[in-house]
Structure formats: C-alpha cells, structure tokens
Structure 1
C-alpha cells in the first residue's frame, strides 16, 4: 500500500490541463478562465456624477454663490456644450460631467428659481466619479480563475463578449456489480440502489466537469468490456466497485486486458483502501471502492484535485485545524478520514464510522484527518480537518 499523498501524486501525473475554448460571456459562469483577459475600455468611460444636482466649476463653489442653469446632462444624454463662469448644468446620477465643470453641488444644497440656483449649504465632496476609476483599458483578470457572477459582470463591463476557458473534463462513471439497480427501479432480493454514481456525479459537476453516467456493468467480463467501450472518448474513466480482489471483483483484470497501464493499487487510508489508478489509451482511469462512503471520501480526496488539475487550477484542497469537542481513541496504521461535525465550539467525530452509512456522511460537514498511528486525543486537542 502507498500513502494518500503518493497516490494523489500518481493520479495528478496521469492528467494535464485540457485545451482552451472560447464561450459566449453568457455561458462562462462557473467555467475556469484559461488566459488573462484585458479590459477593452475603461470604466467609467467618462467622469460621471455620483449624485443628482448641478455641475459647476469647483473654483466658484462657495456659500450663497449663484449660477445660471444652461442645460441638462442625464445618463445616456450628455450635455454637449461647455460650462462657463457663473454657469451650471442640471445633472443626474451616472451622467457625464460636462466640459468646464469639476464639481457637482447636490440638489438638496441649492435653491432654484427658474434658471437660477443659489448654494444654500456649504458643499462637501465634489460628487464626481473619475474616468477609469474602476478599471482602465488593458487592466486584466488573471487566469486561472473559476468565474463567479461578479467576474461575469466585470467581464461584461470590460466589453469582453467571448471568454477563453478550459474545456470541461469529460468523465465517464461506471458503477459495477450484480447487486445494483438504478434509483426508481425495484431491487430484487439482495440488491441495493446505485447511490455512489449520483453522489459522485454531483461532486464532479460541482468541480466543473461534464459527467456521463454509463449503464451499470454486471460482474461479467463481457459487461465490463462493453462498459469500457461506452466510455471511449472520455478524459477520465471512473469505476465504482469491483476493485478489490474477490472472485467477483473483475475491474482490474478486464481493464488490464484492455490495455490499462496500472499506476498503483491500494492506498493506506480508511475508508478507501482498494483504490486503483492507471491509464487506458488517452484517458486516465481511477477505480474507486464500492462502499458508498469510501467512494465519496475518495471523491473529495482524489477526484476533486484531479479535476482541478485538468482545469488548470491549483489544488484547492485546504486542511484546517480545530479543537476536539470529544476525545478520540488511538488510530490504526492507515490514514483515517473520519466523518465529523464542526461547530463554533470545535469538532467531534461522528459516533459510527461504518463506511456503508451514507446518512452519517450527510450529517457530517467535515472529514477529520487522523495520521497513521495517531495516539489517543483528549478534548481540546488540535486536530486537522477537510471541509466537505
């Protein structure tokens, strides 16, 4: 068995950033920016008023000063003339400040009679947003970056209609086992629902991948061969179950018969020991254990960083620390990822760590990491965790 870190390094070596494609801005949310993008205009493109009021020359602004109103500037309808001495232009929020003006007196500070205004209160700031105050032509959004809704708004303001992004990884999910049926079907005696497939699909899509759920592969070589054939063209093939060494665990054998170059098998972790990695032609392959929690934990620990590598992102896995709310007994020889609940008061491992219990995984919000042979820990001891 190899360590979790070594296994992850092997898996990351199997993949590389995918090709760049250009998508319309309206379809870029959540995608990963692949190249730096530069602003094609400055924002605001002109000095703009931040308030409703009157645009005047700043040097003339003083209490009781009087100005003649010679026009109006509104958003989308600028005043084309020039503001001269003793003159003012009625201006509205967001409107261009006319030439010759350098100050906006807010409307609450003036008295207007016909076309004459008088400043009645001592003005404060100039109430003008300078041109290019937000960004200038050539300012960039740096790649790589997963684009948020705020990024999309910024790109639109920069006048960028097409965005260079990484192609979404095409991932084929293959659940294996005679005991499995799809949700909505009626299980026969001794059968269960294929839950892992859907949990992993959600996890991988949340990471930014495009995921195909293939038909369940039964525990027969022809069925597994057909499943791998359906997976052709994928960037990553993920099998679930059948990776152990029992009489019905045929994934490794069939994959090798089809030309898989195995990178490793078995990891010193709990849950998730029977993990396999390798390459099938141009696709990377990862064989996950069949226990539901084992598969999902391996999804967080291994699949997520692999997808991030394919998207050109750095590994976003972040381990944090917190004090224990309850004591822990000593750990065994494998790295243990315990389902746990983090609260403002600290962290506590869930009582039952059976790797078949998805209800416990749904209750947990973190994985508490125990190093191999970690001694017993008392309440208050600092431990490491990974957010789910």
Structure 2
C-alpha cells in the first residue's frame, strides 16, 4: 500500500482521481430517456435529411428560366401542403402553391416567396422572378445516409436528441447513470423543518450536492447526516456501498472532531491523498475501496462546491463516458480582489460578455462558508499562488461552473 500523498497540486489530484476511474457499463434506452446521457456508440444516419427536396418558405414552385422577366404570369395547377406528395409534374408556364417544408414537385427548379407575388383567378403574377435553384433545400443537404451524426462520448443535449429523432432513431446505447452516495457530517448540523436550535446550523450541503449531482445526470442516494461520532460515520459510509461513488462533506480538516479520514479507514478505504493546494477547500481527501472512490469535501458550503467543481465533476465526466475535455479559457477581470497569498485560489465570478471576450466579475464575498456567493456565479477564476492582489483588467484563466459548461 502506497503512503497517502499530502498537499498536492490540483493537477496531481486529478491525475490520481482519473487514473482510478473507468466509464460505467452500457445500456440501451429509448430516445425519450436519453436526455443528459452520454453516447456509448457512434450513431450513423439511416436516411437522408431532408429526405426529399423541399421548400424553406411559403410561395410558388415553378420551372425558372435564366431569361425570365417581370411580370411573369403562371397558371396554378396544384397545391402541396406540408406532409403531402404531388405526382403532378410542373411544366413551363405552370406553378404549384407550396408551403414551408413541402416537397418540391417534379419539374420545378425554384420557389418564389409569396410576398413577391399576386394571385388572381387561378393564376399568380411574379413581380420578382427568381433564378433556377433558388429557395430549395436539397435532399441530404443537412445529413446524408451513412454519415456519422453523433460520436461515442458525446453528451445528449435536447438538440442532440432532437437530431436523432429527425433521423428516425428510436433507441441509443448510452453509459449507465452514476449512482452517487452523499453524506454530510457534523454535530452542528440540523435538518430543515424545525426552528434552529442554539449553536446549530441548517444542513445545506446535502441539498446543494444533491442538486449538483442531479444536474450532472446522476442517481443520488442521500444518507441522513451524522454528528461527530466515529462509529456512526463508519456505519453511514458502509450504508452507501451500493453506489458507484461517495461524496462526504465536513470533518475533513485538522480539528479534534474532524473524523472523516479515520471513518474512511474504518470503513475499509485506502486514503490516496489529503489536502490539495488551492483555496477554498484545501483539506479535501480521497479514499478508495475496490473501484469506488470516496471524496471528502470541506464542510464549508462554498468551499464544498468549489471542491465538487474541481475534483468531483471531472471524475463524474469520465465515469459517464465523456470524452470532451473540460474547457479552460482566458478571462479578463471586471473587478479587483485585494487579497494575496502563497496558495493558488479560485474566485467565484459572474461572466460578463463584452466585445467577444469573457470578463469575470468577482464582486461577491469570497469566504469559504458563503454559499450565497455561488448563486449567480458562472465561472471559477484561477489565481496562481503568490500572485498578489488581482487588478481590474488583468488576464487570467477561467473554467465554467456546472451547467455553464459547454458540452
């Protein structure tokens, strides 16, 4: 057994975590259950899209000639609503009334907008004739039969599911949803629903983490919180052994009542690291038992969320089969941050989009216990250790928070 690593870099922590993670098993689900899942197999188009030449607008389909001049008067010989098919071939001097999405009739080579015409007694006058091939969406213009439309590892957003539906796909192979256990610890905790007692605080971490995990497409098993009691904590951890991954909050620091590391060992875990060199949330720990990782996050609410974003979410991405890398991008500071320190720090900030650039507004309280600062935050700004006070206009690196990440 290797010795536990201490006070390691974020990059080293992620290396340890991701080395231990493998994607979960695969299952086939109906398209209606595929939202927010991750594809396990490439999807190939079985049809052309669109499956026929069609009109992108309401108007008239006819056979245009390069020499056509206004006014052009044509006989209306058919009408083609969307969802119907016309066998009537259009000849010179004729046209078909056509609608958005309707198939182009044989013989027609263009569509003129309704707004550029006048209709009267079975004829239409075209005031602005169009050229051949104008206003036609051709068969297979979007997707051709045999094209790979989505690849394994891609996230199934509503738009991606809609694309599959447009191609007639009924079922897809996806990675199984991670089942994640969560446990909040601390004798100071009290659940919501009763008047707050002296010396107590309401347990917010369980609710915050559950929301983050549900947003990430996980199944969640939330254990009742436990006080600072070693045996109770060990038993609570053992009750979560039917999950793929466990996240705890509280008890991770150096105080006499910070018991979570001892509890992890008591539950049969090997400790891989303790303390990661960034703020907030330095005293984070990682244990492993079999293939299951145990993340011990800070009990301070905002620090716990930062721990989750930087360490747990990358683990979940790999567990769910995601192949795209997390995006790190330049940001410009839209405000100051006066503190300096030796440790790397991640600031919560609102994203402000200006002249094609991302600016970060850190004008929140940045304390580790200030959960309110996470509400309205879009990104984390990476301030290197020893950097000194952050100045407005300075260029740093940022990464999106949860749902703001572009999948």
The alignment's TM-score, normalised by the length of structure 1, stands at 0.88
SS at the partner of 1:33? coil
Is contact 2:31-2:161 (8 Å) kept? yes
User: 1:108 Cα deviation (Å)?
Assistant: 5.5
Q: Does 1:133 align with 2:141?
A: yes
Identify the residue that residue 370 of structure 1 maps to in structure 2: 383
Identify the residue that residue 214 of structure 2 maps to in structure 1: 205
Q: Distance in 2 between matches of 1:349 and 1:50?
A: 46
Identify the residue that residue 50 of structure 2 maps to in structure 1: 44
User: 1:329 Cα deviation (Å)?
Assistant: 4.3
Identify the residue that residue 340 of structure 2 maps to in structure 1: 330
Which of 345, 348, 372 aligns to 1:359? It is 372
User: 1:175 Cα deviation (Å)?
Assistant: 0.7
Identify the residue that residue 396 of structure 2 maps to in structure 1: 383
User: 1:377 Cα deviation (Å)?
Assistant: 4.8
User: 1:174 Cα deviation (Å)?
Assistant: 0.6
Identify the residue that residue 3 of structure 1 maps to in structure 2: 9
SS at the partner of 2:331? strand
SS at the partner of 1:130? coil
Is contact 1:219-1:248 (8 Å) kept? yes
Which consecutive residues of structure 1, in runs of 5 or more, have no partner in the other structure? none
Q: Does 1:99 align with 2:111?
A: no
Which deviates further from its counterpart, 364-373 or 14-23? 364-373
Q: Distance in 1 between matches of 2:362 and 2:113?
A: 60
Identify the residue that residue 321 of structure 1 maps to in structure 2: 331
Q: How many pairs are equivalent? A: 386
Is contact 2:180-2:247 (8 Å) kept? yes
Q: Does 1:74 align with 2:87?
A: no
Is contact 1:62-1:122 (8 Å) kept? no
User: 1:5 Cα deviation (Å)?
Assistant: 1.3
String of CA shifts for 1:51-95, please: whole Å, max 9, x gaps: 444433334973466655443332222222333455444433322
Is contact 1:51-1:94 (8 Å) kept? yes
Is contact 2:333-2:391 (8 Å) kept? no
Is contact 2:74-2:95 (8 Å) kept? yes
Is contact 1:60-1:86 (8 Å) kept? no
Identify the residue that residue 155 of structure 2 maps to in structure 1: 146
String of CA shifts for 1:191-240, please: whole Å, max 9, x gaps: 21111111122222222222221111232233123212221221111111
Aligned Cα root-mean-square deviation (Å): 2.8
Q: Does 1:190 align with 2:190?
A: no
C-alpha change, 1:348 and 1:155, in structure 2 (3 Å) is: closer
User: 1:25 Cα deviation (Å)?
Assistant: 1.4
Which has more radius of gyration?
1
C-alpha change, 1:263 and 1:85, in structure 2 (3 Å) is: same
Which consecutive residues of structure 2, in runs of 5 or more, have no partner in the other structure? 1-6, 402-407
Is contact 1:208-1:307 (8 Å) kept? no
C-alpha change, 1:265 and 1:80, in structure 2 (3 Å) is: same
Which deviates further from its counterpart, 92-101 or 9-18? 92-101
Q: Distance in 2 between matches of 1:339 and 1:107?
A: 52
